[in-house]
Amino acid sequence: KAAGVVTYKGRPLPEADVVFVPSDGGLPSIGRTDAEGRFNLTTSGRPGAPSGSFQVAITAVRQKRTVSPGEAASMTTAQIEANHEQLIPLKYNNLITSGLTASVAEDANANKFSFDLK
C-alpha cells in the first residue's frame, strides 16, 4: 500500500490527481485526493506502487462551468482549456518542474507521503 495527503497553502487539496512515475521507467502509479486531501496509489488498477524512486506530479483543475457531454464533444482544445481553472501553480503539473520526489519502500507501513504545496 502507498498513500498520503496533499495540502496547498496548509489546507487539504481535494480532487487533485497525484502521479508517481518511476525514475528508472515503468508504469506510473496514480491516485486522486478526497475532500481531506488523502490519496491511495494504484498501479495498473491494483492497490499500491512498486518499491523504488519516483518523480511526482500533481494536478488540480476545476471546470469554470459545467459542460454537457454533447457540448464537450464539440469543444476545441482551446475552449476546453479556457473552461478550466488551475487550483495550484502550474509547476506542480510537470514531473521536472514540480521538484517533488518520493521513495516507495518494500514495507507498506512506511509508505505514507505528505506533499505541502506552496
Amino acid at 14: P
Which residue in the block uniquely carries the three cell numbers 518494500? 106
Averaged pLDDT, 85-93: 95
pLDDT in tens, 43-78: 999 999 999 999 999 999 988 999 898 998 999 989
Q: What is the pLDDT of residue 80?
A: 87
Q: What is the pLDDT of residue 5?
A: 98
Pairing between strand 112-117 and 3-8? Answer: parallel
What value does the mean pLDDT of the chain take?
94
In this model, does residue 1 exceed pLDDT 90? Answer: no
Cα 108 to Cα 56: distance, rounded to the nearest angstrom: 18
